[in-house]
Amino acid sequence: MLNALKPQAPDKILALMGMFRDDPRPGKIDLGVGVYKDAQGLTPVMRAVRAAEKRIWDNETTKTYTALAGEPAFHAAMADLVLGSDYPKDRLSALQTVGGTGACRMGFELARLANPGATVWTSDPTWPNHLSILDYLGMAHRPYRYFDAATRSVDFQAMLADLQGLKPGDVVLLHGCCHNPTGANLTTDQWLAIADLLAAKGALPLIDLAYQGFGDGLAEDAAGARLIASRLPEVFIAASCSKNFGIYRERTGCLLVLSDATDRAVTQGTLAWLNRQTYSFAPDHGARVVTTILTDPALRAEWEAELEQVRSGMLALRRQLADELRLLTNSDRFDFLARHRGMFSRLGATPEQVEQMRRDSAIYIVGDSRMNIAGLNNQSVPVLARAIVAAGV
């Protein structure tokens, strides 16, 4: 029977990781996989996470099941982190999920249950897993133009023009901050215009918030999601704790859903039911760590301070790289690197130029020229800048 299976295309980023591992050249630079790395190339356990884990280890008396949708304390802590303290509590449903990927997946499934004919509109480009999950679910999806290859910023007029085609009940997938893979993000005015457009069209926003705290700050990175949440009757937010808490492998995420208050009970029940059909309970450990940190003022302050170091370190690398390229090219055409936010920037190199940088300089960048800025440090920035110029980008 299994001989009927067709091979799945290998994940390009994981394949690149394998090539990097096997490259014997000293000084090789990995800008591929989307994981935060410090100046030593390590992805450490954050101090507050360690402290929370110790506290849980000291105090936990049982490992019995929790609640199917996740614990109310986790929902409340995540809603507060994402939406701020004054969100409409009577309109909120929430689901603890397996990472941000699980939150996206459950968001798609909830939308499909409510409107089987919905088309999901995705930015061009977007995180490839969005598209492959939608394909797997058999959900219709359509790209909207987003990234202007010439300026490496958002082509907002094109985005608005494409979204004119929205039908009532369609879903618009938006990156809340730190767009993956481009690094180009909406301004506040643009978020406002999108909110107005979606309200006029009767479309439902699904905001993927996988990097809160990696761009301009915790509140700043949630500002677009908060603005949408304050203006639209129904909103989905898929929040990941993988990056901002550095707990990738704990698989921690949360789907927040705002609905009419009268639909809340059925929405919340449907979310719990979706977990039940898929894997019953989401894993507890990461969610418990997150709740412990967010509800303890000292741990929260420690976490916020470390996250701020991570964020400002990436910004400093962006500025250094833009400055180097300014000097080397005697132009400002790479200044977009300092304007982008988050871990990623799409450099705008051709696949051949990406390959040349790998071959000649042992620099590993994903084929669409998405670079993970966190893979750099002070010493490797000039190496990358010279390789970018040598490849003729």
Point out the residues that are catalytic.
127, 208, 210, 243
Number of residues that bind ligand PMP (CB under 6 A): 14
208 touches ligand PMP (CB under 6 A)? yes
Which of the residues 126 through 145 are near ligand PMP (CB under 6 A)? 127
99/205 with CB nearer ligand PMP: 99
- Residue 338 CB, shortest distance to ligand PMP, in Å, is 21
Output 309-312 pairs: Cβ under 8 A, ≥24 positions apart: 310/36, 310/38, 310/213, 310/214, 311/213, 311/214, 311/215, 311/216, 311/217
The residue from 96, 123, 185, 242 that contacts ligand PMP (CB under 6 A) is: 242
- Residue 253 CB, shortest distance to ligand PMP, in Å, is 5
Amino acid symbol at 314: M
212 touches ligand PMP (CB under 6 A)? no
The 10 Å Cβ neighbour count of residue 122 is 23
| C-alpha count within 13 angstroms, C-beta hemisphere, residue 151 | 10
106/349 with CB nearer ligand PMP: 106
- Residue 344 CB, shortest distance to ligand PMP, in Å, is 8
253 touches ligand PMP (CB under 6 A)? yes
- Residue 285 CB, shortest distance to ligand PMP, in Å, is 14
**CA-CA distances (angstroms) from residue 112 to 3, 102, 199, 261, 287?**
32, 15, 20, 20, 26
246 touches ligand PMP (CB under 6 A)? no
| Helix and strand numbers, DSSP H then E, in the chain | 15, 13
239/299 with CB nearer ligand PMP: 239
**CA-CA distances (angstroms) from residue 93 to 75, 101, 245, 277?**
8, 18, 23, 18
Which of the residues 73 through 102 are near ligand PMP (CB under 6 A)? 99-101
275/356 with CB nearer ligand PMP: 275
336/344 with CB nearer ligand PMP: 344
Which of the residues 323 through 362 are near ligand PMP (CB under 6 A)? none
Query: Are 193 and 160 a contacting pair, CB within 8 Å?
Result: yes
The residue from 16, 20, 30, 34 that contacts ligand PMP (CB under 6 A) is: 34
What is the C-alpha separation between 184 and 171, in angstroms, rounded? Answer: 21
At 226, is the secondary structure helix, strand, or coil? helix
242/353 with CB nearer ligand PMP: 242
DSSP class of residue 110 equals H
Which of the residues 284 through 323 are near ligand PMP (CB under 6 A)? none
Which residues are CB-contacts of 305 (< 8 A; sequence separation ≥ 6)?
none
- Residue 243 CB, shortest distance to ligand PMP, in Å, is 7
Query: Are 252 and 70 a contacting pair, CB within 8 Å?
Result: no
- Residue 59 CB, shortest distance to ligand PMP, in Å, is 26
Helices 72-83 and 223-231: crossing angle in degrees, nearest 10, is 100
Burial class (CB in 10 A: 0-12, 13-18, 19+), 278: middle
Which residues are CB-contacts of 307 (< 8 A; sequence separation ≥ 6)?
46, 213, 218, 244
34/348 with CB nearer ligand PMP: 34
The residue from 52, 94, 210, 362 that contacts ligand PMP (CB under 6 A) is: 210
180/268 with CB nearer ligand PMP: 180
Helices 285-295 and 47-59: crossing angle in degrees, nearest 10, is 110
- Residue 34 CB, shortest distance to ligand PMP, in Å, is 5
What is the C-alpha separation between 130 and 146, in angstroms, rounded? Answer: 15
The 175-194 site mask, x for binding ligand PMP (CB under 6 A), equals: x----x--------------
- Residue 33 CB, shortest distance to ligand PMP, in Å, is 9
123 touches ligand PMP (CB under 6 A)? no
B/e letters for 67-80, b = 16+ CB within 10 Å, e = fewer, are bbbbeebbbbbbbe
Instruction: Give the footprint of ligand PMP on this chain (CB under 6 A).
Output: 34, 99-101, 104, 127, 175, 180, 208, 210, 240, 242, 248, 253
